[in-house]
Every structure is written in structure tokens, then in C-alpha cells.
Structure 1
Amino acid sequence: MKRFLRLLLPTALTATALLALPSLVCAQSSPDKSVRIMVGASPGGGTDILARVLADKFGPVLKQAVVVENRPGASNTIAAELTARAQPDGSTLLLATNTGQAIAPHLLKLKYDSLKDLQPIGLVAVMPNVLVVSANAPYRNVKDLLAAMAAKPGGFKYASSGIGSTQHIGGEAFGLVTGTKSIHIPYKGSSQAHIDIISGEVDMMFDSTSSAMGQIKAGKFRALAVTSPRRAAELPDVPTLAEQGITGADVSTWYGLFATGGTPRPMADRLNAELLAALKMPDVQARIKGLGGEITPMTIEQFSEMNRSEYEHYGRLVKEAAIKAE
């Protein structure tokens, strides 16, 4: 998060001014053509939840049906490729995370360029990741977990929403800084992984709060630590890893809105304006806060710079940690 706080909105170009632009959808397309928000994860996860929040807000102002289309798999890149290959008319959007935008390009051979073929629109939210275990597990804190892992070297499994996801990166970083080894079990989205965490089939997960919060509040997950520099506002009693003596494994998940590369700038500006307007709505703010997230409004230029910076940051991390697609 610190890497891009300097990018926060200093602009004189306000959402109100941008809303005066002509209607978004779509000069080139049929007026009754629906808008798709592509999601690279299964229904029920954090990306899906936020996409549906935006769809509910975008529909009335765009005066069109806005639907969420889930295309899970390949570290969120299936949905990203479909967006990259769509007509640049504003009718296909992507709610992406740093998994697909900043990590996967360094691990997978993609048929599109994540920096050139997707047009950044704006940052939606940043969520800390949280180390969770089943509520039935005996571990009460990270010290308990590490003791159990030491007693059973290589016998623990951790889940992720896919290879190259922030959950995967978080698990690898945790192993590096603690000197432990565990088996990575990738899933097609967090919601599928939750089933095996709750049953105890998989021992732990470094999930985003947006995905894990529901299970934590329902008493099905026990949160042992947040993997961010400070505690999550919605989990004030859960200490950070650093508070428990573990540093160097900080990982957060960000969610951003993208359009197809080549989308005309007036359309991109209108989408950014509608996003900024939605993020000011009290119910949207409450929903994101309830998921443990922080809202950081950005212009297109600011989000584009952040997107590139994160791409470079995770490229270095993947190389230094020798992380490879399995």
C-alpha cells in the first residue's frame, strides 16, 4: 500500500465534472447492449462481491443492464484475456486484482499484454490478506501454528485462489521468512478453497479479507494474523504478523477496474467518474469497510502508474523468490 499512497488524488478534474460527459454506452454499439464486468474468480469470492456492488451502481446511471460474468482459472487471466480481446467500446469491463495484473504475467505465457491491452480505469479497494485456519483447528496464534509445522515438517497444506495469486505469494513469503515448508493447493477461486479449510482437508490460507471475512464472522474460520503492516479495521483483535515477530511477509490484495485497451478516452473518463461517484456512496463504503478494505480514489493516470509499479514490484519478487507456475 505504501508503494502507491503517493498517487492519491491531487486532481482538479472532479467526478462531478466528468459526469457531464456524454453517455458512456456506447456510440459504436447498440443502445440496449448490456455491459459485462468480467471476473476471474468463482462466485462468492471477494472479486465477485465487489463486481456485483459496482454492477448494481453502474446499471441505473448507464441506463443499461450491467451483468457480472465469472470466468475463473489461470490466475484470473481467462477473464482478463476475454476483456483484452473484446471490442473497445466500453461494453466489456474487468474487475481485476494484482493476481492477474501484476503477478500472473511473470509466471504464465499470456496471449495478451496486461499493460498494453487493458485500459486502467480506477482503483476500487485495497484489502489486507489474513492468515486463517478452520475454527476447529487447535491453533490460537501463529506461534501455535509454527510449533505444529515444526513437529510435522512439510506436512502442512495451504490453499490459494490459484497459482500466482496473492494467497500463493503470501504462503510462499511466509515459508521463506519462517523457514517452514508447506504444500501449495491451488483452487479456482477462494470460495472453493474455503470448503476444504473449514473441513480441515487443507490447514491454512492467506486469503484476502474480502473473501474470508464472511467465514470469519460466521465463526467458521479463525483468523491468526493479518499479513499487512497494520491491523484491519474490521478485525481489530487480530494482530499483524509483525506483532507476532514475523516480518517480510506483508501481502495485500488490490482490486481495480479495467476496460479493453483502445477504449476511447471519453468513455474511460466517464467510467472513472462513475467509479469515483460509486465509491463515495455510504452503502458502498460500508460494504467495502465490512470486507476489511480501504478505499483509495484515483484518476486514470494515478491508477495506470500504480498498475505499472505493482507489475514491476511483483516481477522482482517472483524472480527473487524463484516462484514458478506449478
Structure 2
Amino acid sequence: MVHRRAFALTLAGIGMGLVAAGTAHAQAAWPDKPLRIMVGASPGGGTDILARMLADKFAPDFKQSVVVENRPGASNTIAADLAAHAAPDGTTLLLATNTGQAIAPHLLKLKFDPLKDLQPVGLVAVMPNVLVVSAASPYRSVQDLVAAMQASPGHLKYASSGVGSTQHIAGEAFSLATGTKAIHVPYKGSSQAHIDIIGGEVTMMFDSTSSAMGQIRNGKFRALAVMSDRRAAELPDVPTMAEAGVKGADVQTWYGLYVTAGSPKAATDALAAELTRVLKLPDVQARIKGLGGEVGTLTGEQFAEMNRQEYERFRKLVRDANIKADGL
């Protein structure tokens, strides 16, 4: 009996060891299939640029391909909806901005809850918005624009990457602060908007620096003012809105990484750790700073709280400015 009991205990110990090893292997195997990063804007814009940068860094570490899927439209919420309703296995990510996560929910009827159906992984970057016009434009300063808008109310046009986007909100904030009115022309991303600004179809755009910096550097855009409380390091000669004589029109675009809510903790922890590692890389920091932004430093929990605060802040702004979901 003693020998049999010892033998049974040995077998039990072996069994438990195999189970533990199997569990450890299952956890270590994540991800066991390719990852995708959903982007709610067209290729070439700021969100797309950052998503592809992350995909290039994630793939070698996770030993899986990482594909960026562009699903523009509906103020970035088409991509968010797909991520929210994906299988909660941690392999569908969303690189989102405050457009879809904090502004659009107050303008559109959504089939998901951005605060409940998408789990924040971490803040990636914060970019100030910048007022730009075509390099061929006659307007060389903010005051030139304000004077023209006052002389012909509702005549000039401003572009955005969609209704409820930060560009849209920035345009409305500018109108409120200056007592002027311009026509809002929404696009499904920044790329087409840039073409029409350069071509003279629309007058201006309150774009994020991440989207506009390339056109500014290649001489296609003229930057008139940044919409932040201090000048952008990459645009030292461009005044802030306050310096240009307009107060109360500060708007920034933030970019955050999310995963489908309910994804395994092992997956979300691994994603958070990887994002933290990537954001510390010198080339990544240089790329974000080169886009006129600041690298995110918030944890997932801190970023979730920031998202909640931004959600409420924009709820009030949309109501106070009486912003409607026109153009959809």
C-alpha cells in the first residue's frame, strides 16, 4: 500500500507538472496568430504613420506579422467598432485618437461604448493642432485670416478629417474665439483634405502636426499658428494661437493604443510592456518629436482615466458650441 500510494503521488505530481507546463506554454504562446492594428483614417495621415511605426516594432518581438488595416470614415468610429466587436483574444488592436474615443460619441449613434468595449493599453503620443493654409495662399498670418472671415462671414472653407474630428472641433473653437464663421468641409482622413488645400479648393485646416508636418516641410503648407500653450519644438518660428492674438482656441490630438475589451490579461500585459519598451526607443522618440509631438508616458490605467476626463470635456464642448453631425 505504501509503495502504491507513493507511486500514485508521483503520478499526481507528474500530472500537475504537466498541467503547469502546459499552462505556462499556453501563456507563453501568445500571440499565436498575426496581429492587426485598426486605423480609422486613410493611409498617409498621422494615425496611419504612428500605427505603421508600431507595427514595424511589434512584429519582431511578438514573432508574428502585424498588419495595419485602414477603415476610414464616421469620425474614426468604423475602425473602432470593428475592434470593439472583434474576438477578445488580444490580437485586434486599435490606434485611436480623441476624435473617435472622446468626441464622436457625442455626435453619432454608435453600436459600441468606447469606454467599455475598448480597453486602453497606453498613450502613444500627443500632438498640437496647427492652422495651415496653402503655401500659395494670400493669407500670411492668423490676423489676415480673421480679417477675411470678418469681411465675408461664411465664405472661407476649412477642411477636417471628418465630422467630430479634432480638426473639426479646432475649427469651431477658432470660430468661437474669434467671433467668425467658416464653412466646414469634412473628409475621410487628412490626405484628400491636403490635396484640396494645396489645390485651393478649401482655404485652411486645423490639422494635427503629425499629419501636416510633411506638407509644411516640403513647402506645400504655410503654418500660421499652433493650437497649444507653447510653441512646437519642430516649428520654433510658428507662434501659438495666443501669441497670434487668439485666446481660448487650444486643441491637441492624442493617439492611444487599445485592445478589444475582455482580452486575456496576459495579452494586455504583454502589449502594455511592449508599448512601453517601444516608446523608449531613441528612433521612435525622434520620429514622434519630428512630427511635432510628445511621447506618451501614461500607463494603461492613467490613460483610461485621461480618456474618461476627455470624454466628459468634449461632451461639454460639443454641447456649448452646438456642434452638429452635419456632412455625414
Question: Does TM-score exceed 0.5, indicating one fold?
Answer: yes
Instruction: State the 1:214 CA deviation.
Output: 0.1
> Could you tell me how far apart the structure 2 residues matched to 1:146 and 1:224 are?
12
Residue of structure 2 in register with 1:128 after alignment: 128
Residue of structure 2 in register with 1:240 after alignment: 240
> Could you tell me how far apart the structure 2 residues matched to 1:23 and 1:158 are?
50
When residues 270 and 68 of structure 1 are mapped into structure 2, their CA distance, relative to the original with a 3 A threshold, is: same
Instruction: State the 1:144 CA deviation.
Output: 1.1
Q: One-letter code of the match for 1:219?
A: G
> Could you tell me how far apart the structure 2 residues matched to 1:317 and 1:23 are?
45
Map 1:1-326 onto structure 2 (within 5 A): 22-23=27-28, 25-26=30-31, 31=32, 33-326=33-326
List per-residue Cα deviations over 1:41-63 (Å, max 9, x = no partner). Answer: 00000000000000000000000
List per-residue Cα deviations over 1:80-107 (Å, max 9, x = no partner). Answer: 0000000010110000000000000010
> Could you tell me how far apart the structure 1 residues matched to 2:28 and 2:138 are?
56
Instruction: State the 1:192 CA deviation.
Output: 1.1
Alignment RMSD (CA, Å): 1.1
Instruction: State the 1:217 CA deviation.
Output: 0.1
List per-residue Cα deviations over 1:25-47 (Å, max 9, x = no partner). Answer: 33xxxx2x210000000000000
Q: One-letter code of the match for 2:150?
A: A
Partner SS, residue 93 of structure 1: strand
Instruction: State the 1:245 CA deviation.
Output: 1.4
The answer as to whether partners of 1:24 and 1:62 remain within 8 angstroms in 2 is: no
Instruction: State the 1:22 CA deviation.
Output: 4.9
- What TM-score comes out, normalization by structure 1 length? 0.91
Q: One-letter code of the match for 1:161?
A: S
Residue of structure 1 in register with 2:10 after alignment: none
> Could you tell me how far apart the structure 2 residues matched to 1:316 and 1:240 are?
24
> Could you tell me how far apart the structure 1 residues matched to 2:76 and 2:207 are?
15
Q: Percent identity?
A: 74
> Could you tell me how far apart the structure 2 residues matched to 1:263 and 1:168 are?
33
When residues 24 and 57 of structure 1 are mapped into structure 2, their CA distance, relative to the original with a 3 A threshold, is: farther
> Could you tell me how far apart the structure 1 residues matched to 2:53 and 2:132 are?
25
List per-residue Cα deviations over 1:260-305 (Å, max 9, x = no partner). Answer: 0111222111101100100000110111011001012121111111
Instruction: State the 1:316 CA deviation.
Output: 1.0
Structure whose CA Rg is larger: 2
Structure 1: stretches of 5+ with no match in the other structure: 1-20
Partner SS, residue 243 of structure 1: coil
- What TM-score comes out, normalization by structure 2 length? 0.90
> Could you tell me how far apart the structure 2 residues matched to 1:102 and 1:24 are?
34
Partner SS, residue 303 of structure 1: helix
> Could you tell me how far apart the structure 2 residues matched to 1:25 and 1:316 are?
41
Instruction: State the 1:24 CA deviation.
Output: 6.7
The answer as to whether partners of 1:173 and 1:249 remain within 8 angstroms in 2 is: yes
When residues 116 and 141 of structure 1 are mapped into structure 2, their CA distance, relative to the original with a 3 A threshold, is: same
Q: One-letter code of the match for 1:159?
A: A
How many residue pairs match? The answer is: 301
When residues 207 and 246 of structure 1 are mapped into structure 2, their CA distance, relative to the original with a 3 A threshold, is: same
The answer as to whether partners of 1:84 and 1:112 remain within 8 angstroms in 2 is: yes
> Could you tell me how far apart the structure 2 residues matched to 1:297 and 1:177 are?
31
List per-residue Cα deviations over 1:215-274 (Å, max 9, x = no partner). Answer: 000000000000111111100000000001111111000000000011122211110110
The answer as to whether partners of 1:25 and 1:89 remain within 8 angstroms in 2 is: no
Instruction: State the 1:151 CA deviation.
Output: 2.3
Structure 2: stretches of 5+ with no match in the other structure: 1-25
Partner SS, residue 155 of structure 1: coil
Q: One-letter code of the match for 1:43?
A: P
Partner SS, residue 297 of structure 2: coil
